[in-house]
Amino acid sequence: MYLEVADLKKSYGRDAGHTEVLKGITMGVGRGQMCVIQGASGSGKSTLLNCIGGLETIDSGSVKVDGHEISGLGPNALSDYRRDNLGFIFQFYNLVPDLTVRENIQVCEYLSAHPLDLDELLETLGLTGQRDKFPPQLSGGQQQRCAIARALVKNPKLLLCDEPTGALDSKTSRDILMLLEKINQTYGTTMLIVTHNNAIKDMVHKVIVVRDGCIREDYINETRIPAADLEDL
């Protein structure tokens, strides 16, 4: 397994305010797989993604990426891990408003020793014509494409997507999912996609359902359909 999580526990607060968010999560994702982590709001799915991404510390358990344990790493080692291995895509795009599309992407390009070709990436994501525009001049879908390009330019081994279509209409959501599918096929990028959208599970290799901090379902999708054919987005 490329990603291995074992008995992961995470809580917040103490005494009367103590809340156990993740209650012993164990899961694995193979290299090059697209995996959906699905669950209702408050189920713990985003916290799980943040723990895998090194954005949250864990109380106990293990998180291994490509055989390397990341739980317990210090701040500098965690920063290196995120820089060298991960790309992040969020529901809200977090673009720098006074940088152009190209400049927003270059911010992350400079972090990688082996970045993807920027012009090729712009072409792949349909952003060549927007390369010199600023985020306020873009549609929501174009901003999300820019955020995806920024995450991908580092050539990450693992792409973590937290509700990547949550702020988009159904047509734009489908376009973004088709783009993620194309990225997976082109670059072999392992992907974790956190979502509450039930339809997205039909396009991925693996589905994990989280409820009340526990995994309720974990299965391989044997009947994948293309993102273009997804319904009820």
pLDDT confidence tier of residue 24, bands split at 50, 70 and 90: very high
Domains of the chain: 3-229 (3.40.50.300)
Position 34: which residue type?
A: M
Rounded to whole angstroms, the maximal C-alpha distance in the chain is: 55
Beta strands in 181-230 (DSSP E): 190-195, 206-211, 214-220
| Cα gap 95→176, rounded to integer Å | 17
Instruction: Give the model confidence (pLDDT) of 37-72 as tens digits.
Output: 999 888 999 999 999 999 999 999 999 999 999 998
Q: For residue 233, what pLDDT is reported?
A: 79
Q: In sequence order, what are the residues at sequence separation of 6 or more whose Cβ sits closer than 8 angstroms to the Cβ of residue 74?
A: none
Arithmetic mean of pLDDT, 2-29: 93
pLDDT at 122: 92
pLDDT the model gives residue 164: 87
Name the DSSP class of 132. Answer: T
pLDDT band at 111 (very low <50, low <70, confident <90, very high): confident
pLDDT tens digits along 141-183 = 899 889 989 998 988 999 999 988 887 888 888 988 998 998 8
Contact 75, 22 (CB under 8 A): no
Mean pLDDT (whole number) for 178-195 = 92
